[in-house]
Amino acid sequence: MRHIDHASLSFIIPKFYYHNAINAVDVLHQKTNVFVAMPDEVINKSYRYLTMVFCQIFRLLLIFSLMGSCVAWGNLSKQTENPIQGTAPYLLFNFKNGETRKVLNSDDLLYMGFYDGDKLKIYDIRDNPSEENIFIVPATVKTFEQILLPIPLNASYNTGNFQFISLDELSSKWGVDDDGDRNFIGKGNLKVRITSEGGNTAKRYEQFVACDSPYYKIHLIISGAISEEPAILTKYGNPERRVFSEQDIKFFVRHIIEPSACWVKPNMTSNGGASNRDNYNGPVEQWDFSKGFSPQNIDQPSLNFPTSGMDNLSFQLTMAETKVNDMTYTTEPSNSELRLAITPVSDDKKVIAKITLHGPNSSTTPPPQNTFIPTTFTIFTDNSKKTKLYTFKIAKWFIVKPNSNDNKKGVIYSEAKEYCNNIGYKLPLIGDLTNGNAPDIAWKGGLLGQPNNYQRRIGGGLLAEWGEISQNYYPDNNVTSMYFWGDYNDDDTNNSYKYRVSIDEGVVSRTNVNTITAQAICVSP
């Protein structure tokens, strides 16, 4: 027999169960005044029984606890499977200085903008863009990459010269969902094309060239996938998509630049066109078959068109940021016999001046007698003559002998030579008129490899510069024949055959001096 070891029993069995058993024994002792002795086997059996009961209770409690956790987790899972109740996704474009543009519809998305100094200017369809409502781009914007558009600079180009990006890629770059969902999907495409007034495509890295176009057109288009509207979506959320309407918009922009001369256009009839027929077209840095000569160097007048002239020949000068009525000019030397007439040419989209040369002619009295002086012209944009626009130097001056009314074919060679000598001029060399070659008749003084017609080139001769100079194109001159007389060289001693040059294409031919006629044209010595 032994007393219960409270300490050892309480270590194994929780106090709650242990104390309940001991209290029962104590109550019996108090009421009966009998000391209860518990044999070891009783104690062992009680201990084992209580331990078993406790373990069963603990297991049940653990199971119920886990079941409650599973139910709670299941409820939570059901809640997260439901759509997030919030707002539709949108696009947010970021600019410098922390400025942004929030895109909620197609009107917001199809925008064009630029910085004017530090001021951000953004335009969209609500600004009524049209060919009559042209947006002025400041001079600080030099290239098209400084024009702000919703399409990135490095976007690809398609076969139609449109730069494009999918709405899927666009939403991955600039998509925003206020509910935190970043799983964006886009359907549809956005594209842009920039073209000059003439329809030529301009790439984003290119500079504005006001001489090429009075304005540029920026064409933006948003389109959906097949049978679907353009949209951006998120995987979760309600609403989960933002739908855009299919739409396109055209912005017209004009660039502010300094006044400048763009193109110098004489008669354009004889030129090679796009295929450069018969090599009529001159070097690309000088000649454009649709526009004429390009200015070469404003500080070197002798490099610019024209270098030769004749009374009443004229050319058109296309300009940027200039008013024709404000234009003036000077001559060097100031006592030169040559002068200009500057008049406006009617054109709705370009600023064009007609520049007409005036100087000695067949009616000049007394006859010129070698009084011609090479003359440099400087054309200014303003009456105060502060801003130079264009310069050129006339090194050779031509005078045409009028044909008689009953003989428009001209005169024989000897009469032509005599007329030129009498006015103090000389018969021109073939090279003074054309830069073509005629090797079959021993003329090889033109451009290397050039066939028997002129090439439009500055300094290439009167016809090579001015083109056909008949009255069909220069109405107020004296040219009525199809040929001019020209010498092979200054020491040409062939008295039977001389050379003629056609006034239309500069074709050189050789003919009998006594039976064939041509018009007399003379050049300053």
Three-state secondary structure along 211-236? Answer: CCCCCEEEEEEEECCCCCCCEEEECC
Instruction: Compute the distance between CA of residue 463 and CA of residue 455 in angstroms, rounded to an integer.
Output: 9
- Under a CB-based contact definition with an 8 Å cutoff, are residues 362 and 401 in contact? yes
The pLDDT score that the predictor gives to residue 9 is: 40
Amino acid at 35: F
- Under a CB-based contact definition with an 8 Å cutoff, are residues 523 and 396 in contact? yes
pTM of the predicted protein model: 0.66
- Under a CB-based contact definition with an 8 Å cutoff, are residues 351 and 294 in contact? no
* CATH class for the domain made up of 260-398: mainly beta
Instruction: Compute the distance between CA of residue 449 and CA of residue 453 in angstroms, rounded to an integer.
Output: 11
Average pLDDT for the chain: 85
Helix, strand, coil share of the chain (percent; to 5): 25, 30, 45
Split at pLDDT 50, 70, 90, the class of 503 is: very high
Query: Is cis: bond before 306, omega within 30 of 0?
Result: yes
> Which of 79-83, 102-106, 109-113 shows the lowest mean pLDDT across its residues?
79-83
Amino acid at 413: Y
Most confidently modeled range among 38-52, 181-195, 484-498: 181-195
Q: How far is CA 448 from CA 10, 287, 445, 457, in A?
A: 122, 18, 8, 13
Residue 522 tokens read as 């003379």
Query: DSSP code of 322?
Result: -
Instruction: Compute the distance between CA of residue 381 and CA of residue 280 in angstroms, rounded to an integer.
Output: 33
Instruction: Compute the distance between CA of residue 303 and CA of residue 395 in angstroms, rounded to an integer.
Output: 11
Split at pLDDT 50, 70, 90, the class of 189 is: very high
Domains of the chain: which residue ranges? 6-81, 90-255, 260-398
Residue 226 tokens read as 């097949």
